[in-house]
Amino acid sequence: MRKNDEVFRITGARQGLADDVRGRQRRYVISMSVRTVSVVLAAVLWNVERHVAIVALVLGVLLPYVAVVIANAGRENVPSLPSTYLTTPMRPAVEAAPAAGPAEPAGAEGRSGRTPPPQQHT
């Protein structure tokens, strides 16, 4: 595998754009079909069963708004799935120097080379 190869996780891949658009179009057509049936039903039932005709007419008026909002909702957002892109681990540019052996205990001077101030007892 080369250094600059990209690796994608299939489990985190989103639905293709064409499939997403096709699904939104299908939902919109179904909603508009239901609207058409409800408006025709309202016209047929207006003199027979006025209450059902009014409900069908309200449904026929509200469905276009709902259908447009659903169709324009956009693509799905899947925050719970893992990232779809895996980055290759970065290797350090400079290798660490090998250990020089056991460390000598620091004396009273410590690592800074200065003598610590005397402690006062009260």
> Would 93 be classed as within a structural domain?
no
**Whole-prediction pTM:** 0.49
Per-residue pLDDT of the chain (122 residues; tens, 9 = 90+): 555 666 666 665 667 888 888 888 898 899 889 999 999 999 999 999 999 999 999 999 998 898 888 777 766 665 555 555 556 667 767 776 777 666 555 554 555 556 666 666 66
Decide: helix, strand or coil at residue 50.
helix
> Would 56 be classed as within a structural domain?
yes
Question: Domain range spanning residue 58?
Answer: 7-81
> Would 49 be classed as within a structural domain?
yes
> Would 58 be classed as within a structural domain?
yes
H/E run at residue 31: helix 17-45
Count CB atoms within 10 A of the CB of residue 44: 13
- Per-position DSSP letters for 51-120, written without gaps between them: HHHHHHHHHHHHHHHHHHHHHTS-S---TTSPPSEEPPPPPPSSPPPPP-SSPPPP-TTTTTTSPPPPPP
Mode of pairing for the β-strands spanning 7-8 and 85-86 = antiparallel
Look up residue 32 and give its DSSP letter: H
Please count the structural domains in the chain.
1
> Would 102 be classed as within a structural domain?
no
> Would 96 be classed as within a structural domain?
no
